[in-house]
C-alpha cells in the first residue's frame, strides 16, 4: 500500500490530513511512504550535504536588515511578489510591506536588484529592476563564468574560503579547466547562456562591490541535474564571502511562507502529534525485500518496474510491488510529470482511494472516493504567519458537515475501528477536546518563553485571535560566521562543502563531488538540433495554489483564454506560427498534446513560453493515454526523468515543445464538473 500526501488541502493544526493518515496507517502497520516532494526535491537533498540543512523551508535573514544593509539583491529564478501570496499556514502577507520598501529603495537608487531569469517576472515588473535574461537551463554555466571572473581577477574573498569552507582546491581545477581543458571563463559561459562575456564579468564585479544578498528560487532545481544549481549558488555566495552578514549571503526561501518577516517571540503549536504509548500495529510490516520508502516523483517508475533498484542519496532502493494507493490532501494527476506514462502506470494498481472535496482528475482515476469536509465545516486552530508566527487564530465552523462528507480524522478513525485500534487512534478525545489540548500545549510552551496566553475558553469564545509579542531581527548563518567551531553547520566537516567527500563517494556520474555544468537531456537555444524548439515553463501560477481553485467556473473566467489555461508567449513566436491573442493553440511534443489560450506578452523572449502548473487535466477521451488534454495541463508534456541519482527529484522544467494554431473546432473542456449522480438500486425516480 502506497500513501501519497501533499497536505496543501487546508490550514488547521488538528484537521491536518497528513497527521490523520499517518496516525491511522501507523496503527495498521504496513505502508510505503515517500521521501521529499515535488517542490524542492533536488535542493532539499543536496543542500544538507553542502551547507548543513534543508534551507528551502527555513526562515531567511530578516527583511528589515536586508533593506538596511544590502546594496545589491540578486533574485535567481525567484519571484516573491507572485509566490508570497500563499503560505503553508494562514498567511499574514507582512512580507509585501517590506517588498514595498525595497521597491522604493530601488526607485531611489539605494538598492540594486537584478533578476536572473529568462523572462520578466512579476517581481521584476513590480520593482522595475534589472534583468539578466539568460537562456533557460543555463544557470550553472553562468555561475561558473562569474566564479571564474572572481577568481582570475582576484576579487573573491580568500579568507572566507579558507576559514568557512572546504574543497575549494578540488573545485578549482575544474573551474580553471585543468581537468577537462576547458576553462569555465566568461566567454565559455556566454556561448552557453546567451549573455555577453562582458555582461558576465560586469555582473561578477557588481556582486563584490558592496553587500550582496542572493535569493534563490526553486524552479531552477526542478530541471535535469537540478542539484547543481543550489550547490553552485552557495559556492558563488562563498566566494563573495558575505554569508552570515546582515543583508548578505544566500537563502532559498525568500519567496515562500513569508520568508524574511521577523519571527515573533511566541510559541509554535505542535498540532496532531504521534500517539503516546501506542499499541503494537495490527500488521507487521513486510515489504518482501523491497524498500519502505521511495522518492516522491518516482511513483510512476515504481509502478511500472517493481523490483527495480535505483540509487538515492547514497542508498540503493528496491521498488516495492504496490497494489493499492491512498491519496489524501493531494492531487497526483496535477503534480506528477508525463501524464500519459502515469495513466499507463495507474492501470497496475488494483485499488486507488482518494480523499478530497473537489472532483479532481485524481478522483476520476480512483476506484473509491471518500468525500471530506471543507474548511468551513470544521473547527480548528492555526497560527498565522508561517515564518513570522505572528499569533494564533480560532477557525470556527461555519456549517455542519454537508451530505456524507466526513473529517479526515474521522475517516481514518473508522478505518482503525475495522482492525480494533480506534480507541488508541482517538485517545478518547472529540474535535473540541483535541483543539483544547493542542492549545493547552501552546500555553505551556508560551510560559517557558515568557509569553502568557489566556485560558482556552476565553480564547475560543472571545476574539479568537492572539497576537504574539514582536521578535528580534535575525541573520541567517550568523552564528556560524561568528563562531564556526562552536556553531558548526550540519555537514561532515561543519563547514560549507564546496567539494563533498560524501557525494563523491557515492560515485554518481550525474552528480560528482563538486558542482559542474552538465547538459540536460533536452534544451532550447543550444547548438544541438532539436525536434521541438520552444522551452516550456510550467512554474507556479499567479492565480491559484497549484491546482486549487481551478475548478471554480467563476474564478477561472477571470484569467482563462477561450475557456483554456493561458499560454504565454512573445509576439515574434506567435507571429511565426500564425497565432494572435485569444487563439486556441495546440502545444505538443512526443509525450503528449494540450490545448491552451494564447496570451501575447512582452515579458517573454523568443523560444520561451509558459503554461502554469495546476491546470486541471481534461482528457478528450477519458482514461486513454495519448489523448488530447482539452484544457492545458502542462504535465502532459513534461518528462518523468529524475534530476539525478542523488535526489531523484522531478525534472518538470526540462521540457521542449512546439505550438501551432488549433484548426478544427475546439472540443469542449472535459475536466470540470461532476461527479455524475446515479441512482442506487431500487431507488425511486423521485
> Could you report the per-residue pLDDT of 590-618, keeping only the tens digit for each?
999 999 999 999 999 999 999 999 999 99
Same domain, 137 and 230: yes
Whether the per-residue pLDDT at 683 is higher than 60: the answer is no
pLDDT number for residue 681 = 66
Nearest to 331 by CA among 614, 10, 635, 2: 614
Name which residue leads in pLDDT, 16 or 474. 474
Annotate 605-668 with DSSP letters as a single string.
-TTEEE--TTPPP-BSSTT-TTPPBSS--GGGTS---BS-TTT--B-TT--EEEEEE--SPPPP
Same domain, 187 and 143: yes
pLDDT number for residue 685 = 44
In this structure, is residue 523 part of a structural domain?
no
Instruction: Please state the rounded mean pLDDT for residues 158-186.
Output: 99
- pLDDT bin (cut points 50, 70, 90) of residue 279 is confident
pLDDT in tens, 12-68: 999 988 889 989 999 998 899 999 999 999 999 999 999 999 999 999 999 999 999
Proportion of the chain above pLDDT 70, given as a percent: 99
The domain of 303 spans 2-31+266-384+391-397+404-467
Whether the per-residue pLDDT at 674 is higher than 90: the answer is no
pLDDT in tens, 102-140: 999 999 999 999 999 999 999 999 999 999 999 999 999
Nearest to 643 by CA among 137, 59, 109, 117: 137
Whether the per-residue pLDDT at 255 is higher than 60: the answer is yes
- pLDDT bin (cut points 50, 70, 90) of residue 9 is low
Residues 659 and 569: beta-carbon distance below 8 Å: yes
Same domain, 270 and 254: no
Instruction: Please state the rounded mean pLDDT for residues 558-584.
Output: 98
DSSP helix/strand/coil, 166 = strand
- pLDDT bin (cut points 50, 70, 90) of residue 271 is confident
In this structure, is residue 6 part of a structural domain?
yes
C-alpha span between 167 and 161 (Å, rounded): 9
pLDDT in tens, 193-242: 999 999 999 999 999 999 999 999 999 999 999 999 999 999 999 999 99
Same domain, 126 and 241: yes
For the four alpha carbons of 157, 162, 164 and 165, in that order, the dihedral sign comes to positive
Whether the per-residue pLDDT at 71 is higher than 80: the answer is yes
Same domain, 115 and 154: yes
pLDDT number for residue 286 = 83
Name which residue leads in pLDDT, 584 or 622. 584
> At 296, which CATH number?
3.40.50.740
Nearest to 215 by CA among 239, 249, 245: 249
For the four alpha carbons of 94, 99, 105 and 110, in that order, the dihedral sign comes to positive
Same domain, 297 and 423: yes
Same domain, 421 and 565: no
C-alpha span between 317 and 622 (Å, rounded): 34
In this structure, is residue 527 part of a structural domain?
no
Number of domain units in the chain = 3
Same domain, 192 and 62: yes
Same domain, 116 and 241: yes
Q: Which of 226-240, 265-279, 420-434 has the highest mean pLDDT?
A: 226-240
pLDDT in tens, 281-326: 888 888 889 999 999 999 999 999 999 999 999 999 999 999 999 9
pLDDT number for residue 680 = 67
Average pLDDT, the chain: 96
- pLDDT bin (cut points 50, 70, 90) of residue 682 is low
- pLDDT bin (cut points 50, 70, 90) of residue 686 is very low
In this structure, is residue 514 part of a structural domain?
no
Whether the per-residue pLDDT at 481 is higher than 60: the answer is yes
pLDDT number for residue 273 = 74
> At 71, which CATH number?
3.40.228.10
Whether the per-residue pLDDT at 584 is higher than 70: the answer is yes
Instruction: Please state the rounded mean pLDDT for residues 523-533.
Output: 91
In this structure, is residue 473 part of a structural domain?
no
Whether the per-residue pLDDT at 6 is higher than 90: the answer is no
In this structure, is residue 454 part of a structural domain?
yes
Same domain, 193 and 70: yes
In this structure, is residue 583 part of a structural domain?
yes
Same domain, 113 and 60: yes
> At 639, which CATH number?
2.40.40.20
pLDDT number for residue 502 = 99
In this structure, is residue 668 part of a structural domain?
no
Same domain, 425 and 281: yes
Amino acid at each position: 500500500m502506497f500513501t501519497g500526501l501533499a497536505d496543501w488541502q487546508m490550514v488547521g493544526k488538528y484537521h491536518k490530513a497528513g497527521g490523520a493518515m499517518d496516525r491511522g496507517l501507523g496503527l495498521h502497520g504496513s505502508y510505503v511512504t515517500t521521501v521529499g516532494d515535488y517542490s524542492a526535491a533536488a535542493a532539499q537533498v543536496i543542500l544538507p550535504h553542502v551547507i548543513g540543512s534543508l534551507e528551502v523551508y527555513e526562515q531567511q535573514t530578516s527583511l528589515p536588515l536586508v533593506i538596511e544593509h544590502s546594496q545589491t539583491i540578486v533574485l535567481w529564478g525567484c519571484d516573491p511578489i507572485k509566490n508570497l501570496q500563499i503560505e503553508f499556514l494562514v498567511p499574514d502577507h507582512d512580507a509585501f510591506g517590506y517588498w514595498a520598501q525595497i521597491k522604493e529603495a530601488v526607485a531611489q537608487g539605494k538598492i540594486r536588484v537584478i533578476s536572473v531569469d529568462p523572462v520578466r517576472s512579476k517581481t521584476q515588473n513590480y520593482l522595475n529592476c534589472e534583468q539578466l535574461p539568460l537562456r533557460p537551463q543555463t544557470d550553472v554555466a553562468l555561475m561558473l563564468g562569474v566564479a571564474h571572473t572572481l577568481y582570475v581577477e582576484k576579487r573573491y574573498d580568500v579568507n572566507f574560503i579558507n576559514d568557512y569552507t572546504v574543497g575549494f582546491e578540488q573545485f578549482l581545477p575544474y573551474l580553471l579547466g585543468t581537468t577537462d581543458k576547458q576553462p569555465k571563463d566568461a566567454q565559455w559561459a556566454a556561448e552557453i547562456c546567451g549573455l555577453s562575456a562582458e555582461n558576465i564579468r560586469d555582473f561578477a564585479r557588481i556582486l563584490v562591490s558592496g553587500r550582496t544578498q542572493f535569493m534563490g528560487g526553486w524552479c531552477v532545481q526542478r530541471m535535469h541535474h537540478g542539484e547543481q544549481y543550489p550547490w553552485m549558488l552557495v559556492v558563488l555566495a562563498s566566494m563573495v564571502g558575505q554569508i552570515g552578514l546582515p543583508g548578505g549571503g544566500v537563502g532559498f526561501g525568500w519567496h515562500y511562507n513569508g520568508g524574511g518577516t521577523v519571527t515573533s517571540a511566541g510559541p509554535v503549536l505542535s498540532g496532531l502529534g504521534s500517539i503516546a504509548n501506542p499499541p503494537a500495529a495490527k500488521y507487521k510490516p513486510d515489504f518482501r525485500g523491497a524498500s519502505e520508502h521511495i522518492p516522491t516523483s518516482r511513483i510512476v517508475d515504481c509502478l511500472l518496474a517493481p523490483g527495480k533498484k535505483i540509487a538515492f542519496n547514497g542508498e540503493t532502493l528496491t521498488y516495492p510491488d504496490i497494489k493499492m494507493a491512498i491519496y489524501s490532501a493531494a492531487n497526483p494527476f496535477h503534480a506528477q510529470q508525463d501524464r500519459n506514462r502515469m495513466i499507463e502506470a495507474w492501470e497496475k494498481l488494483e485499488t486507488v482511494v482518494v480523499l478530497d472535496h473537489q472532483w479532481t482528475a485524481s478522483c476520476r482515476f480512483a476506484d473509491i472516493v471518500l468525500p471530506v469536509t471543507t474548511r468551513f465545516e470544521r473547527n480548528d486552530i492555526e497560527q498565522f504567519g508561517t515564518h513570522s508566527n505572528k499569533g494564533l487564530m480560532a477557525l470556527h465552523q461555519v456549517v455542519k458537515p454537508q451530505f456524507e462528507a466526513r473529517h479526515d480524522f474521522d475517516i481514518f478513525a473508522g478505518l482503525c475501528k475495522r482492525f480494533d485500534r480506534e480507541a488508541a487512534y482517538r485517545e478518547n478525545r472529540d474535535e473540541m477536546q483535541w483543539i483544547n489540548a493542542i492549545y493547552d500545549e501552546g500555553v505551556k510552551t508560551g510560559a517557558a518563553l515568557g509569553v502568557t496566553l489566556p485560558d482556552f475558553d476565553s480564547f475560543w469564545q472571545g476574539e479568537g485571535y492572539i497576537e504574539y509579542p514582536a521578535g528580534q531581527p535575525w541573520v541567517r548563518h550568523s552564528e556560524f560566521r561568528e563562531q564556526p567551531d562552536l556553531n558548526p553547520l550540519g555537514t561532515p566537516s561543519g563547514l560549507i562543502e564546496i567539494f563533498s567527500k560524501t557525494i563523491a563517494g557515492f560515485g554518481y556520474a550525474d552528480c560528482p563531488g563538486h558542482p559542474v555544468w552538465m547538459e540536460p537531456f533536452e534544451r532550447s537555444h543550444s547548438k544541438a538540433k532539436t525536434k521541438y524548439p520552444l522551452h516550456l515553463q510550467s512554474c507556479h501560477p499567479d492565480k491559484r495554489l497549484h491546482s486549487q481553485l481551478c475548478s471554480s467556473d467563476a474564478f477561472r473566467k477571470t484569467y482563462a483564454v477561450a475557456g483554456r489555461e493561458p499560454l504565454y508567449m512573445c509576439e515574434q513566436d506567435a507571429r511565426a506560427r500564425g497565432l494572435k491573442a485569444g487563439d486556441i493553440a495546440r502545444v505538443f511534443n512526443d509525450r503528449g498534446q494540450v490545448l491552451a489560450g494564447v496570451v501575447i506578452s512582452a515579458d517573454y523572449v523568443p523560444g520561451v513560453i509558459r503554461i502554469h502548473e495546476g491546470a486541471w487535466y481534461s482528457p478528450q477521451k477519458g482514461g486513454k493515454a495519448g489523448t488530447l488534454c482539452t484544457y492545458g495541463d502542462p504535465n502532459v508534456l513534461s518528462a518523468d526523468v529524475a534530476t539525478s541519482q542523488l535526489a531523484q527529484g522531478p525534472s518538470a522544467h526540462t521540457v521542449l515543445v512546439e505550438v501551432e494554431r488549433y484548426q478544427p473546432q475546439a472540443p469542449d473542456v472535459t475536466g470540470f464538473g461532476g461527479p455524475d449522480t446515479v441512482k442506487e438500486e431500487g431507488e425511486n425516480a423521485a
